[in-house]
Structure 1
Amino acid sequence: MSAEKIDLLNFLQAHPPFDQLPQQALEQAASNMDVAYYKAGSQIVELGQLLDTWHVIRSGSVEVYRRSGELYNRLSEGGYFGEVSLLQNRPSRFPVIALEDCLIYLLPKAVFSELFDSYEYFSDVVEVEDRSRLRHSVSQREDANQLMTASVKVLLTPNVLSITETATAHQAAIKMSENGISCLLITDLQSQICGIVTNTDLRDRLLTPGLALDTPVNQIMSPRVFSVEHNQQVFEAMLLMLRHNVHHLPVLKQGSAIGIITLPDIIRYETQNSLFVVSSIFKAQTLDELVSLKADVRACFVRMVREDANSRMIGGAMAVIGRSFKQRLLELGEAQLGPAPVEYCFVAMGSMAREEQLIVTDQDNAFIFDDNYQPSLHGEYFAQLGKFVCDGLAACGYSYCTGEIMASNPKWRQPLKVWQQYFSQWIDQPTPEFLLNAAIFFDLQPVYGKSGLVKQLNQLIRYKAKANSRFLACMARNAILRTPPLGFFREFVMEKDGKQSNSINIKRRGTAPLVDMIRVHALAIGSKAHNSFERLDDIIESKLLPNGRAEDLRDALELISIVRIKYQAQDLELENEPDNNIEPEALSAFERKNLKDAFQIVSDAQKFLRFKYQPGRAS
C-alpha cells in the first residue's frame, strides 16, 4: 500500500463520518477519492452547479454562502460540503469559496450514495451535521426549545456498569450502592445485554414479596431493555420513556452500551433551558433560593454554547436572566421594606442593557426617581433597597462593579431632573471622567418600575449627542485607545504583566473596542437601538460607512464574541473560574487565522473612526 493511500486512510479514520466505517468501506472510499488544490479566494462550487462529487477538506478552510451572498458557514479540516446537492440531485444552492489555500478530497457521487445507503452511522452523521448547519437559518427564533434538537450524547452518564445474570440480587444491590447508581445492566454468558435491574425492581420484585437476598438477579430483572442510539435526540428518548413507562435507557453505539440516561437526567437537562431558569427565578421566595440558581445559570450558558447558539442568542438570553434576577430582587426587597414611597425605575447599563451579557460580568445599575423624590423623606428607603439588590446580585454571581456604578452608591440614586443634568454635562463638557460615564450610561435600559423615565433620558441622549461634533470626536478618541492585539507582522501581542501574562484579554482588546466604535456611529446617526448588532443594522441603513464596512464589523464582532464565549464555557466545563483571557496556543489554527482577520478589521475600523470624527480636534 502506497504512503499516500496510508495517509488518506489515516485521515479518514480520524474524521467523522468515516471514523466508524469498516476497513473495507474505508478502502473503497480511499481508492475512489481524487484530490484537488484550490488557491485562497478561488471558487470551489458555483451557485447552480450540478455536483458529481462530495467534497471533504483535507487542509485549509472554506466559506459557504447563501444564494443571497450572506455567509452561511465556515469549514476547516475534516469538514465537508455538497451532500445536499448530491442527495437531492439538484444544482447547488450554496456557493463555496476557498478562505485559504485548500486541499480537497473528491468522492464520486456513486460511492458517496453507496456509503450513505449502506452504513447507518455514515448517513446519521451526515444528516445531523446538515441539521446543525441549518440551525443558522432559524437562529432568529428566541429561546428555541433545545430539547427538540439536542442529541442524547449531551446527557450521557458514561459510568455503565453491568453484572452477569448468574449473580444474586444482593450482589447487584451492593454494586449499585457502592457506585451510587440506580440501575445495572444484566448480561448473559456471551456478555450480551439480556435485562436491566433498577432500584424499583429491587423494591417491588425482591423486598415486597419477601424473596431471599440470594435470588438470582435474572429472576427480578426487567428482561425487555429499551435503548436509544447515541445520535438520537433527547426528545425521542423522552417519548420512548413515556411510551413504555421506563426511567432508564441504555445508550448504544454500534451495538455496545456507552452510557445510560435516566428520566431525572432529562428533567435536569430541561432545567438548563433559559426559559426554565427565568421561570425558576420568579418562583423563588427568598434570596437563598435565588442564590441556588447560580449553577443553573452557568449550565444554561454551557448548554447554549454546546448547541451552537450564536453570540446574539446567548447574549440576549443571559441578559434576560440577569434582568430577571434584578426584577425578583426588587420585588423581594419591596416585600421586605414595604411599597416604594415614590415612583422609580431601576435601570441596567453596559452589556445587560445591550443584551450582550455573558457569564463573566459585573453589575452596572442605578435608580431614576420621579421628580417628587425628596432625599430627606425617601433617601433611607432607597438606600436600603439599593443595598439589598446589589448585595443579592453579588451573591447570585454578578460581581460588584469596581467603579461603584451601582444603585448602592448615592450618586446613582437620583431624580430624573438630576439625571438630565448629568447627561447634559457629560455631552457638553466631555472630560475624561464624563466620557467614561457616557460610555457606560449611554447603554441604558429600564428593568423595573416606571420605564417612561428612561425613555426621556434616551431621547435627550439622542438629541444632544447627534448635534455635538466635539462630543462625538471625544468619544471616538476614547474608542481608539484600546487597540487590537496584533503586531506589525500580524502576530498576536499578549499581555506582559499580572497573573494573565502571555494571554490576550479578548474583551478589552476585541469586543470592547468594537462596541465602543459601533456606539459612536450609532450616536452620530441618532439610532434608537441598544444592541450592537441592531445598531449595525441602523448604520448599514444610514449608509454612514463605506459599502461593506459595517458588515465587516458585524462579522468581526460575532467571531470575537463567539471565541470569548466558547472559552468561558470550556472553563466552566473544566470547573475553572471563567475569565476573558485566552492563550493563543489554546486556539485551533482556524480560530487563530480568523481571529487575526477579525482583529485586523477592528484595526482598520479604528483608522476610519480617526478619519471620520477627527478625534484630534477634541482636545
Structure 2
Amino acid sequence: MSNVIVRRVAEFLKRFPPFSFLSPAELEGVAQSVEIQYLEKGETLFRQGEAARPHFFILKEGTIHLVEDAAKGEEIREVCDEGDVFGVLALLGKRPYLLRSKIVENSLVYAVPVETFGKILEENSRVALFFAAGFAAGQVVVRQDLSQGQKARSAFKSASGDHSLLIFSDQSQVKVSEKVLTCSPETSIREAAQLMTEAQVSSIVVCGQGNFPLGIVTDKDLRSKVLASGVSTARAVSEVMTSPVVTAKKQDGFSNIYLSMIRHRLHHLVLTEDGSADSPVCGIISDHDIFLSMGNSPAVLIHGLMNTLDVGDMRIIRDSAEQMLRYYLENEIAMEFVASVMTEINDVIISQAIVIAQTQLRPDFPDMDEIRFCFLSMGSEGREEQLLRTDLDNALLYQDVPPGRQSEATEYFQKLGELVIEVLLACGFAPCPGKIMASNAEWNQPLSVWKGYFSEWILHPTPEALMKVSIFFDYRAVAGAKSLAEELTQHVYQEIAHKQIFLNFLAQNALKNPPPLGFFKDFVVEKSGENRDQFDIKSRAMLPLTDLARLLVLSHQVVGINNTFKRFEKLSELEPGNAELFSQAGTAYEILMRMRALEGLQHHSSGRYIHPKSLGKIQRQLLKNAFAPISELQEIVNIRFQLDYFRR
C-alpha cells in the first residue's frame, strides 16, 4: 500500500476509538495491514452463521445494515455508520456471525487482519477494555456510542470529544470475592442449592483434593440442567457442573481477566493461586462485580441498573454516574449528550423502582396488574435536564376504573407511589419540598382527575395555578402506559385552544423574574436568609429561560418537546427572524446548566446558590454573557402578548 494511502487510512482511523488509543507506530502498522474493500449496493460482506473471517471491519463510507434472517423475513438489528466497528467476533473466539451484512448503499470498508490486531489487543488494556465493554453491553457493532437508548445514541454522534476515554474507572476497585463457596464432587445437587441459598450467592465451585477446582455450578445450571431437564436433585453435583472450569490468576490484570470472561461467555471466573486448575481456589469474580466497578461507562451503568433490583447496588451505580458526570462537565462534553445520558440513567432507576414496588405489592393486589398506569417525571427531570440528584418532581396517572374498583385502585396506586419514592430517596434523590411526588395522594390520581386539574389551571390561572403549571406542564411519561400521558396532553392543548388568554397569564408569569444583573451590572444576590449574598442561578437565570421557552413553544402549539434547549432549537426553525436570539438562549441555558452542576458537585449541594466572589474573572464574564438573551426574550414576550395593556 502506498505511503499516501496508508497515511489517509491512518488519519481516518485515529478519529475513532479504539484506534484513537494507539501510538503513532501502532496506528501506522494497522493502516499498512488494512485491506480496502469496495462493496456495491446489494452485495453481502458476510452471512449469518458463516464462520468468522480473519478480519474485522470499519465502515469508511456508505451504509451497511446488519440483519437477522428469520422465518418471518429479515429484521434490521443494527445500522452501521461511519467509523463503526463490526464483525468483531473474529477477535473474540472466532464464533460464526450472528447477523448478515447487507450493503444498502455503495460502501467503502477497511478490513483489519485479526492477526495484526491481536498483539495490540493483548498489550493495550484500553483497546481491550473498549471491545470488552461493547460486548458487555450486548453490542454486535462496537462504536464510540456505548450508551443504550436512542436519545443517548444520537447525542453521542453529535457530541465533541473522545468519550471512550471515559469508559473505565480505576481497575483496582474491581471487587473480587475471596470467600468462595465450595463443595465436593459427591455433594448432592439439593445440598449444593441449599448452600448457595444460605450464602446468598449465584454459584458454587466444585473442588477436589487440595481445594483444586473441578467445575462450577451456577443458578443458570440449576435451571437449565436440573429443573428443565427433570434431573433428580439427589444426584451428585458433579453430574451437572460445568467442567473443565476456566481459571485465571488474580494478578493477571483486569483486562486479561475480563477478556477471558468475554471470550468464554462466562458470568463467573474462578481465580486460583497460579492461574491454573491445578492450584487452590483463592477467589471468584462475576460479571456483576465487573459492572459495578466499571463505573465510567454509560453502557455499563445502564446495563448494571437494568440487571439489578437491589436498591443498594442501584445507589452505588448512581453514585458512579455522578463521577462520570463530573468528568463530562470538566471536559466540556456537549451538554445535550450529557443531559441525554443522565436522563437515560435516571429513567432506568425509576423503571426499576416501579418493578420493585409492583413485585412487593403483587401478593396483596393480584388483580391490579391489569390496570394501566403511567409514571410522570416533571420539572427538570421531565425536561430531561436533571443532572444532579436534586429534589424530585413526579406524579402517577392511572386509568379510570369502575366505581366498584376505585377504592382498591386508590389504595394500590398510593402504596405503589410511596414505594417508588422510597427507592428513589434511597438512591440519593432529594424529596420535593412542596411534596409534588407520586407518594402524595393529590398527585396520584386517575386520568379524569388529572384532566380536571389542568382544565382548572387553564380556565382559572391564579398565581398558585401558574406556579403549578410551571412544574406540571413539563411532564414526561417515563414508564408504564404512555398512551395515558398522550391522552392527557391532547386534552391540555384542546383546553388551551379554547382559552388563548391563558397564554397571556403565562407570559405575565414568565416575566416575574427581573434580569439577573442589577443597575450597576452586578449580580442580583439574596438579601437575607441562609443564602444571603449568594446568587440564585436557578430562579434568577435558569427559570426565566425555561418559562420563556415553554411559553413560546406552547404559543406555536408544538407538542412533545420538553427540553429547554431543544425548545429554543425548534423556535429557531419556527421563527427564522429570531433564530440567532433563540440559538444564543439555548447556548446560554447549557452554560447555566453546566455551571450549576459543577457548583453542586464541588460543594455536594443542589448547586442552586453561587458565591459571585468565588468565581474567576472568566467565569463571571461567561455567566454574565449567558444572561444577555433573557432581557431580549422578555421584551419580545412583553410586546407579543401585549402585557402592558394586559396588566391594566
Matched, 1:518 2:549: yes
Q: 1:547 to 1:378 in 2, by over 3 A?
A: closer
CA RMSD of aligned residues (A): 3.8
**1:522, distance to aligned residue in structure 2 (A):** 0.5
Alpha-carbon separation, structure 2, partners of 1:479 and 1:395: 35
Question: Does the Cα contact within 8 Å between 1:143 and 1:317 map onto a contact in 2?
Answer: no
**1:360, distance to aligned residue in structure 2 (A):** 4.2
Alpha-carbon separation, structure 2, partners of 1:578 and 1:422: 30
Residue in 2 that maps onto 1:592? 620
Alpha-carbon separation, structure 1, partners of 2:308 and 2:595: 33
2:306 partner letter? F
Residue in 2 that maps onto 1:431? 462
Alpha-carbon separation, structure 1, partners of 2:467 and 2:480: 26
Residue in 1 that maps onto 2:305? 281
Matched, 1:376 2:426: no
Give the unaligned 5+ runs of structure 2: 1-153, 173-251, 263-287
**1:456, distance to aligned residue in structure 2 (A):** 1.1
Matched, 1:450 2:481: yes
Deviations 1:449-498 (A, max 9, x none): 11100011112223333553321111111111122320112112212222
Q: 1:360 to 1:582 in 2, by over 3 A?
A: farther
Residue in 1 that maps onto 2:54? none
Question: Does the Cα contact within 8 Å between 2:292 and 2:316 map onto a contact in 1?
Answer: no
Q: 1:368 to 1:480 in 2, by over 3 A?
A: same
2:640 partner letter? K
Question: Does the Cα contact within 8 Å between 1:360 and 1:580 map onto a contact in 2?
Answer: no
Matched, 1:560 2:592: yes
Residue in 2 that maps onto 1:532? 564
**Which of 337, 344, 356 does residue 361 from structure 2 map onto?**
337
Q: 1:500 to 1:265 in 2, by over 3 A?
A: farther
Question: Does the Cα contact within 8 Å between 1:424 and 1:464 map onto a contact in 2?
Answer: yes
Matched, 1:499 2:523: no
Q: 1:341-380 alignment to 2 at 5 Å?
A: 341=369, 342-372=371-401, 374=403, 375-380=406-411
**Local SS of the residue matching 2:157:** coil
Q: 1:483 to 1:312 in 2, by over 3 A?
A: farther
Residue in 2 that maps onto 1:328? 352
Alpha-carbon separation, structure 1, partners of 2:437 and 2:525: 32
Residue in 2 that maps onto 1:302? 326
**Local SS of the residue matching 1:541:** helix
Q: 1:552 to 1:388 in 2, by over 3 A?
A: same
Question: Does the Cα contact within 8 Å between 2:553 and 2:567 map onto a contact in 1?
Answer: yes
**1:155, distance to aligned residue in structure 2 (A):** 5.5
Matched, 1:473 2:497: no
Alpha-carbon separation, structure 1, partners of 2:543 and 2:431: 19
Question: Does the Cα contact within 8 Å between 1:281 and 1:325 map onto a contact in 2?
Answer: yes
Alpha-carbon separation, structure 1, partners of 2:167 and 2:343: 26
Q: 1:151-230 alignment to 2 at 5 Å?
A: none
Deviations 1:126-149 (A, max 9, x none): xxxxxxxxxxxx965289996623
**Which of 147, 160, 165 does residue 149 from structure 1 map onto?**
165
1:595 partner letter? L
Structure 1 residues 466-475 or 451-460, which shifts more? 466-475
**Local SS of the residue matching 2:464:** helix
**1:562, distance to aligned residue in structure 2 (A):** 1.9
Alpha-carbon separation, structure 1, partners of 2:600 and 2:459: 39
Deviations 1:522-569 (A, max 9, x none): 100011211112212221121186352212211221222222222223
Alpha-carbon separation, structure 2, partners of 1:336 and 1:143: 41
Deviations 1:154-182 (A, max 9, x none): 8599xxxxxxxxxxxxxxxxxxxxxxxxx
**1:266, distance to aligned residue in structure 2 (A):** 10
Residue in 2 that maps onto 1:542? 574
Question: Does the Cα contact within 8 Å between 2:377 and 2:478 map onto a contact in 1?
Answer: yes
Q: 1:483 to 1:531 in 2, by over 3 A?
A: same
Q: 1:145 to 1:492 in 2, by over 3 A?
A: closer
2:543 partner letter? A
Question: Does the Cα contact within 8 Å between 2:171 and 2:293 map onto a contact in 1?
Answer: no
Could you tell me the TM-score, scaled by structure 2's length? Answer: 0.54
Alpha-carbon separation, structure 2, partners of 1:142 and 1:387: 39
Question: Does the Cα contact within 8 Å between 2:305 and 2:314 map onto a contact in 1?
Answer: yes
1:347 partner letter? L
Structure 1 residues 278-287 or 324-333, which shifts more? 278-287
Could you tell me the TM-score, scaled by structure 1's length? Answer: 0.56
Alpha-carbon separation, structure 2, partners of 1:408 and 1:383: 6
Question: Does the Cα contact within 8 Å between 1:311 and 1:565 map onto a contact in 2?
Answer: no
Q: 1:591 to 1:306 in 2, by over 3 A?
A: closer
Q: 1:417 to 1:268 in 2, by over 3 A?
A: closer
**Local SS of the residue matching 1:448:** strand
Question: Does the Cα contact within 8 Å between 1:465 and 1:524 map onto a contact in 2?
Answer: no
Matched, 1:441 2:472: yes
**Local SS of the residue matching 1:427:** helix
**1:351, distance to aligned residue in structure 2 (A):** 1.2
**Local SS of the residue matching 1:368:** strand
Question: Does the Cα contact within 8 Å between 1:471 and 1:618 map onto a contact in 2?
Answer: no
Matched, 1:487 2:518: yes
**Which of 434, 440, 459 does residue 490 from structure 2 map onto?**
459
**1:326, distance to aligned residue in structure 2 (A):** 1.2
Residue in 1 that maps onto 2:315? 291
Residue in 2 that maps onto 1:129? none
Alpha-carbon separation, structure 2, partners of 1:142 and 1:355: 17
Matched, 1:386 2:410: no
Deviations 1:402-427 (A, max 9, x none): 11111111111221122112112211
Question: Does the Cα contact within 8 Å between 1:466 and 1:524 map onto a contact in 2?
Answer: no
Q: 1:557 to 1:376 in 2, by over 3 A?
A: same
Q: 1:146 to 1:265 in 2, by over 3 A?
A: farther
Alpha-carbon separation, structure 1, partners of 2:324 and 2:498: 43
Deviations 1:324-377 (A, max 9, x none): 111111101111111535211111111111111121421111111112265312
Q: 1:545 to 1:459 in 2, by over 3 A?
A: farther
Alpha-carbon separation, structure 2, partners of 1:426 and 1:544: 32
**What is the total number of aligned residue pairs between the two structures?**
389
Alpha-carbon separation, structure 1, partners of 2:160 and 2:576: 34
